[in-house]
Amino acid sequence: MTRPPADPPTSAAITAVWRQESVRLVAALARMTRDVDLAEDLAQDALVAALEQWPDRGVPGNPGAWLTAVAKRRAIDQFRRNDTLRRRTAELAHGLEETVMPDLDGAVDHIEDDVLRLAFLCCHSALPPESRTALTLRLVGGLTTAEIARAYLVRETTMGQRISRAKRLLAQSGASMDPPTGREREERLADVMAVVYLIFNEGYVATAGADWTRPELCLEAMRLARMLSALVPDDPEVLGLQALLELQGSRLAARRADDGTTVLLEAQDRSRWDRLLVRRGLRALDRAETLARGGRPVGGYVLQASIAACHARASRAEDTDWTEIARLYDVLAYAAPGPVVEVNRAVAHGRAFGPDVGLAVLDAVADAPAFAGSPVPGAVRGDLLELAGRHDAAAAAFREAATRSHNADERRLLRRRADENAHRSDPTPSPTEGAAR
């Protein structure tokens, strides 16, 4: 598809609007047309219209409503051109023209609900689990096929085929955009929560690109988590997910210094943490723990939120209760075992009980298939070796991790840590220490 050129300021505005509105737009169109593929095509048509018209006419006051109105008109035209859907056209046109056409700057209908509905639709039981996650990341998270492929360590063509197949299966199943209720909602809830968490993580540490973080993804995931909590207010795990995302999201502004460099947790200026998000997170966690004391089961999200709360409650990095965090990770490893949990447990044990203890935990999982090509084990190894004063080995670990990262900011951070350790000498061992090694 050839797109007309736009002047730089307008082009930047269109890019910003598209990143902010595309998911909501596709979700609204999918609800109206009940066709995910058509919804994506109509959204793209609206984007092309913006590229054609905004450079001359200026960016409208409510660009999201403008895109939605244009896409809805295209949807009506599409149905009118299809004789077999004439009756559906009349129903759609009647409903939409009354509510939207008179005022393009008015509020867009049902947008907030539509995104969550789309998430539940993508997690339909007609789809295999891996397809549910991939399709939701694509449509709800707005991630590109290439980004999802990197997250799953598969080829982009393979992931593209998986997503296309998921769309076909969804269409063949006759799945509805109507939000599920009762048992059906419970069955899809865990998948929806998992995808919301993945969207947040992609925003918190982007797997690829120029920037270490993608705040817009974090904000969207937090919004979805709050909506889930309102939808299911008596589920500790749903509240735990909200708490976890709010508490981690509170650190976003402090993760980058004024000069643009990345700042790790222990070096962050905690006065820059968003105290409103901290309060929201702690309040959600308190509600989850209250429900748990009443007998409701808890799992990984509540435990991870409890770990995040330990950091949030420490006014200084040195006040962090690493022993408690290590204990919580031990419980999490039992409740939700996996290599990612073990790597984080290695960090916690290294801080609480010494770097050698952490390295022993790390060694048990560093070669797990889930970490094939990942910079994470090497970065954690470098951190623990640096803590142990073994700077030469730490520098080598950080350099190796940098070669595995697809994110430019993360590579710079790892190389910087490698250089810092390379310029610090390892302590000269005594004869006894040398023999022990």
Q: What is the pLDDT of residue 175?
A: 73
Contacts of residue 370, defined as CB under 8 A and 6 or more positions apart, other chains included, come to: 338, 339, 340
Q: How many CB atoms lie within 10 A of CB 132?
A: 24
**Distances, alpha carbon 76 to alpha carbons 35, 51, 66, 105, 110, in Å:** 14, 21, 16, 20, 18
Measured distance CA(418)–CA(383) in Å, rounded: 10
- Determine the Cα–Cα distance for residues 404 and 97; give it in Å rounded to an integer: 52
Sole residue written with tokens 């709010």: 246
Looking at residue 208, its pLDDT comes to 62
Q: Model pTM greater than 0.75?
A: no
Q: Can you give the pLDDT of all 437 residues of the chain as single tens digits?
A: 444 455 556 677 777 777 667 767 777 777 776 666 677 777 777 777 777 778 777 778 777 778 878 777 777 766 665 544 445 545 555 554 444 433 333 333 343 567 778 888 888 888 888 788 888 888 887 788 887 887 676 788 888 888 888 888 887 877 766 767 777 778 788 888 988 898 898 888 766 665 667 888 888 889 889 988 988 888 999 999 999 999 999 999 898 888 878 888 888 999 999 999 999 999 999 999 999 887 777 789 999 999 999 999 999 999 999 999 999 999 999 988 888 899 999 999 999 999 999 999 999 887 888 777 788 889 999 999 999 999 999 999 999 999 988 888 888 889 999 999 988 866 655 554 444 43
Tokens of 89: 């056209």
Residue 329 backbone dihedrals phi, psi, to 5 degrees: -70, -30
Q: Which CATH number fits domain 182-422: 3.90.226.10, 3.10.20.30, 2.60.120.10, 1.25.40.10?
A: 1.25.40.10
Cβ neighbour number for residue 430 with a 10 Å cutoff: 9
Q: Delimit the domains of the chain by residue range.
A: 8-108, 182-422
Count of C-beta atoms within a 10 Å radius of residue 172: 9
CA distances to 64, 111, 409 from 217, in Å: 17, 17, 17
- For 360, the token pair is 């022993």
Exposed, middle or buried by CB within 10 Å (0-12, 13-18, 19+), for 324? middle
Surface-to-core class of residue 299, CB atoms within 10 Å of its CB (0-12 exposed, 13-18 middle, 19+ buried)? middle
Given a contact cutoff of 8 angstroms between Cβ atoms, the answer to whether 81 and 93 are in contact is: no
Cβ–Cβ under 8 Å, residues 223 and 203:
no
Q: Confirm if 417 and 411 have CB atoms less than 8 A apart.
A: no
Amino acid present at 41: D
For residue 64, give the amino acid letter: G
Please report where in the chains the tokens 């095509």 appear, as a residue. 41
Cβ–Cβ < 8 Å for 38, 78: yes
From the list 125, 115, 82, 76, the residue with the least C-alpha distance to 98 is 76
pLDDT at 54: 80
- 3-state SS record for the chain: CCCCCCCHHHHHHHHHHHHHHHHHHHHHHHHHHCCHHHHHHHHHHHHHHHHHHHHHHCCCCCHHHHHHHHHHHHHHHHHHCCHHHHHHHHHHHHHHHHHCCCCCCCCCCCHHHHHHHHHHHHCCCCCCHHHHHHHHHHHCCCCCHHHHHHHHCCCHHHHHHHHHHHHHHHHHHCCCCCCCCHHHHHHHHHHHHHHHHHHHHHHHCCCEECCCCCHHHHHHHHHHHHHHHHHCCCCHHHHHHHHHHHHHHCCHHHHECCCCCECCHHHCCHHHCCHHHHHHHHHHHHHHHHHHHCCCCCCHHHHHHHHHHHHHHCCCHHHCCHHHHHHHHHHHHHHCCCHHHHHHHHHHHHHHHCHHHHHHHHHCCCCCHHHCCCCHHHHHHHHHHHHCCCHHHHHHHHHHHHHHCEEHHHHHHHHHHHHHHHCCCCCCCCHHHHHHC
With contact defined as beta carbons under 8 Å apart, do 210 and 260 qualify? no
